[in-house]
Amino acid sequence: TDNMEVEVYSVKVACKVASRFAHTVITSSALNKANSSQEVFFEVDLPKTAFITNFSMEIQGQTYTGEVKEKEKAKKQYEKAVSTGQTAGLVKASGRKMEKFSVSVNIAANSNVTFILTYEELLQRKLGQYEIMTRVKPKQLVQHFEIVADIYEPQGIAFLDAYGTFISNELLPLVEKTVTDKKAHISFCPTMDQQRKCPGCDGTLIDGDFLIKYDVNRAEALGDIQIVNGYFVHFFAPPDLPRVPKNVVFVIDRSGSMSGNKMHQTREAMLTILNDLHEDDYFGIVTFDHVISTWKESLTKATTENVSEAKGFVQTIQDNGYTDINGALMKAVDIMMKDKQAKKSTERSVSMIILLTDGMPNSGVSSTPQIQKNVRDAMGGNMSLFCLGFGNDVDYSFLDVMSRQNQGLARRIYEGSDATVQLQGFYKEVASPLLSEVDLHYPDNLVNSLTTSHYKQLFNGSEIVVAGRLTDNSLDNFLVEVFAKGPEEDFIVKGQASAQEWDILYPEQEYIFGDFTERLWAYLTIQQLLSMKETGTAEEKGNATAQALEMSLQYSFVTPLTSMVVTKPETDEEQEEPLIADKLTEDERQKAQRLGPVVPQMVGNSYMMPSSPTYFVDGD
């Protein structure tokens, strides 16, 4: 709140990570010192990848707790609330990585309020590190401000870094890190004076992102298997593997809508990406508007001369015309298949197509389901597709589904001065495949409810995570095997897994890890079911939806299928008012992103003011 009659006396962010599974609790308490009731806002940014699991408000000794319900059922309540003029909808998109949870309540004179929000996520390893991001913006000096994180990694912590975008040289010594072999403790607790922008003024320095980055030790080729309370998780990212050569076709949209900055940034990024190709890689370039062009009709070895020639070609790419995504991808597949047939590149190499586009197909085949079908049929599981969706107008869901149907993934590239860096960053993530056709095997008679255990590739700096439920507590013969294709020969490792004694590993801790592995398994299973809901056959979609919903409710995760219903306290002026916290889908985020940041409104439906001024005239 900006209202100085409301004193925020405590803000605490407590994050506990056990084997990459992060459980974060944000607690904030405020006191209304005024003689009249005041509206108090609680706004928290949480990572898009996280699921809210709990929310409560404690007001005048009474606790109001959120309840996770099936989205459709919650929506009915919501619609009732909207129809009676009440507000609803607590979660909005916020920037590139986060979404914002916000709620406001009226607090009586001289009363306290405490908000507690809990969310959970499985940290993903990218470019060799995990990242925990907390956005803090208390808006006023806080008596007790604290960010504290405890990380427990049985594999051992290889490195850890903690910093804040708002942390000046004076505040830097306040970031305390204690890292022992398997445990890290990070804390940041500035006093009120240390939070001040300047001596004697009320402004706070605390406004920005607090980041913790770390990685774990990777000694074992088999990876790390943890078994806790009837669930197991296998983290697979073996050390010291040579990279597998790749065949890559870059498919670049040069239609009219790419004009200006986007085209310029694409050329810039491509020049760097081409430089980063390894000499044993083969590559091709397809550019398209409504006309499809190629740099060369077949894949070319990434020798210095060829790369230099390709860079010359990239510099000539000019924007023009309509968008024929189908034709361009068909051409790329054709180049790749011809190469395979001619056996030009190494047999063990990995094949991938990287599509960069900013728009909807409007030339050639323009039906997106038809394009998805054509691409899937043409690729036939022989190569992966990675899509980069550039800008706000791109149909991201279409690209996302198409990528996942072809064992790849999509990434949104946000328009901005750093778009070139985003493009290069994405390429780096997939530039170095280490293994292909990775199969992880566990004894059929001992496990069930396994998450995906076949992966098309393992990339350098990433990690494969498989989790499952044990059907038998006797672990005498829990044999784990991994089969994959390496650059020269097949990669085969086998090993025996055993349950870890967490209370022995962390004897001084209370037994806090009871259900972490189970929740990690549930989180991963739900994420994969949600993915199947988009990409599977009609029957698979139905089953995946039903199962994901059931698990979301069972584990109290706010996913795209569930909502958290929060009932606000009744006041003199207003009736009891249900509020809804949803998990946004990418489409909803995209829409919100176009409209800009969240602004609390005085009256009426929620509306997000655009980030730049808008002037218009229209009818009603």
Residues lying near other proteins in the complex (CB under 8 A): 85, 255-257, 259, 319-322, 362, 366, 591, 594-596, 599, 601-605, 607, 609-620
Please, which residues have CB within 8 angstroms of residue 415's CB and are 6 or more apart in sequence?
261, 262, 390, 391, 392
Output 476 or 618, the one with its CB closest to other proteins: 618
Helix (H, G, I), strand (E, B) or coil at 241: coil
Smallest gap from Cβ 617 to other proteins, in A, equals: 5
Smallest gap from Cβ 166 to other proteins, in A, equals: 22
Look at residues 144, 149, 138, 123 and name the one whose alpha carbon lies nearest to residue 44: 138
Smallest gap from Cβ 612 to other proteins, in A, equals: 7
Output 316 or 445, the one with its CB closest to other proteins: 316
Smallest gap from Cβ 321 to other proteins, in A, equals: 7
- Which H or E run includes 28? strand 21-32
Q: CA 483, CA 238: separation in Å to the nearest integer? A: 12
Q: CA 225, CA 237: separation in Å to the nearest integer? A: 12
Ordered alpha helix ranges (H), 221-324: 261-275, 304-315
Smallest gap from Cβ 618 to other proteins, in A, equals: 3
Residue 257's φ and ψ, nearest 5 degrees, are: -70, -10
Please state whether beta strands 208-216 and 130-136 pair in parallel, antiparallel, or not at all (unpaired). Answer: antiparallel
Structure tokens at 482: 């991994």
Output 165 or 605, the one with its CB closest to other proteins: 605
Output 320 or 449, the one with its CB closest to other proteins: 320
Q: CA 40, CA 197: separation in Å to the nearest integer? A: 23
Output 112 or 366, the one with its CB closest to other proteins: 366
Output 176 or 587, the one with its CB closest to other proteins: 587
Smallest gap from Cβ 241 to other proteins, in A, equals: 46
Q: CA 394, CA 259: separation in Å to the nearest integer? A: 14
Smallest gap from Cβ 605 to other proteins, in A, equals: 5
Smallest gap from Cβ 593 to other proteins, in A, equals: 11
CA separation, residue 347 to residues 283, 489, 578 (Å):
15, 11, 60
Output 369 or 600, the one with its CB closest to other proteins: 600
Helix (H, G, I), strand (E, B) or coil at 346: coil
- For CA atoms 507, 522, 568, 140, the dihedral sign is positive
Look at residues 426, 417, 332, 414 and name the one whose alpha carbon lies nearest to residue 379: 332
Contact 54, 24 (CB under 8 A): no
Write the single-letter amino acid at 281.
D
Output 49 or 320, the one with its CB closest to other proteins: 320
